[in-house]
Amino acid sequence: MNSRVTINGINIIVKGEKTILAVCREAGIHIPTLCHDERLEPYGGCRLCLVEIKGTARPLAACTTPVQDGMEISTESETLTRLRRTTLSLILSNHPGDCMCCEKAGDCDLQELAYMYNIEPGEFAGEKWDLPVREDNPFITYEPNKCILCARCARICNEVVMAETIAITGRGFYAMPDTAFRKARSLENCEFCGQCVSACPTGALTDRKGRGRGRSLGMKKVKTTCSYCGTGCNFYLNVKDNRVVKVTSDYDAPVNKGNLCIKGRYGYDFIHSPDRIKTPLIKRDGVFHEATWDEALELTAKKFKELVEKHGPEKVGGFSSSRCTNEENYLLSKWVRCAIGSNNVDNCARV
């Protein structure tokens, strides 16, 4: 069912059931948000996406309000700007002013919105959090003073990962996302997938392995495919000085939509391992020597041919890995069956 709406004087035809925020983003109309994540259910917590609808007494959250036929919507006005500035000022009233040395500087949604709306710090005085930085696990640094209670970390843990590691604990001024009984993260209560880090719009949650190794704007992002299994998850390798500093999500990836597991997000140390084999090796007189790919492939083909001629094709088989793609596993099976003439094909995932 199609709906016709007017947004900022522009007539738009909406196909299907969508929220105002979704329609605006498809039309290239900017609406500020802090609690919204495309991977999560609409939350309506930050109240920055308020819009005015003709005939409605008060502004409504665009992320939770479905489009209805005939709506006349305004995303910008003096009233909306005043409400958004007040909300941002209230958020910043309990936020550290260490943007100069913050790990997320230049890649922080709150910082961008504060700049966009020209928010001066200190407009609202009062008590502020003074909580210690927590680095009680090997992968994630938690700075609770920088949390804005958008609940994106808890929601992605519960809605997408379904690990239920994080929840909003405490009440009122003392509310914050944390583990049950505020225990340190471990493999007993956390999958260390880093989904919470990818969802955090501020510097409250950051990758511990990449801290202090460079700002996001100073890194080259190289899109690649995870090599740990055949699922085909995509992500970005963040490279600085020819070294991989950290991994960040690719939200447009067709397979995983930015979601990763512990191996994909934190298992990149092997890239720069001094023990990593970078060239083919051929053993001569009991000692390995570097060789070209042509030399290695010719030797391998020769050895296989000798084995088949001596023992028959049924004595040869192929064992594939789930770290390879489906296409690579298919090619191995095809090669063993057609080139070798054997049906001895197996995969590590079978057991």
Examine the domain organization and report whether 255 and 171 are in the same domain.
Answer: yes
CA–CA separation, 219 vs 241, rounded Å? 9
171 and 244 belong to one structural domain: yes
Q: Which residues contact 280 (CB under 8 A, 6 or more apart)?
A: 290, 291, 292, 293, 295, 296
**How much is the pLDDT for 281?**
95
**Exposure pattern of 267-298 as b/e (b: 16+ CB <10 Å)?**
ebeeeeeeeeeeebeeeeeeeeeebeeeeeee
CATH number at residue 247: 2.20.25.90
Structure tokens at 251: 């939200």
- Going by C-beta distance under 8 Å and a sequence separation of 6 or more, which residues neighbour residue 49? 21, 31, 32, 33, 36, 61, 62, 63
Domain that holds residue 244: 143-272
User: For residue range 326-351, what is the model confidence (pLDDT) as tens digits?
Assistant: 888 899 999 999 999 999 999 887 75
Does 226 map to a domain?
yes
The answer as to whether 296 is a domain residue is: yes
Element (H, E) at 156: helix 152-156
Per-residue pLDDT at 351: 59
CA distances from 257 to 74, 99, 180, 261 (A): 31, 29, 28, 12
Q: What is the CATH number of the domain that holds 40?
A: 3.10.20.740
Inside any domain, residue 161: yes
Residue 293 lies in a domain: yes
Report the predicted TM-score, pTM, of the whole model to 2 decimal places. Answer: 0.86
Indicate the residue type of 86. T
Do residue 193 and residue 224 come from a single domain?
yes
The confidence score (pLDDT) of residue 321 equals 87
Residue where one domain finishes, among candidates 30, 59, 76: 76
Q: Are residues 197 and 147 in the same domain?
A: yes
Q: Are 31 and 24 in contact (CB under 8 A)?
A: yes
Considering the domain boundaries, does residue 91 fall inside one?
Answer: no
The type of residue at 253 is A
Structural domain includes residue 17: yes
Mind listing the pLDDT tens digit of every residue in the chain (351 residues)? 789 999 999 999 999 999 999 999 999 999 999 999 999 999 999 999 999 999 999 999 999 999 999 999 999 999 999 999 999 999 999 999 899 999 999 999 999 999 999 998 778 888 899 999 999 999 999 999 999 999 999 999 999 999 999 999 999 999 999 999 999 999 999 999 999 999 999 999 999 999 999 998 889 999 999 988 878 899 999 999 999 999 999 999 999 999 999 999 999 999 999 999 989 999 999 999 999 999 999 999 999 999 999 999 999 999 998 888 788 889 999 999 999 999 999 988 775
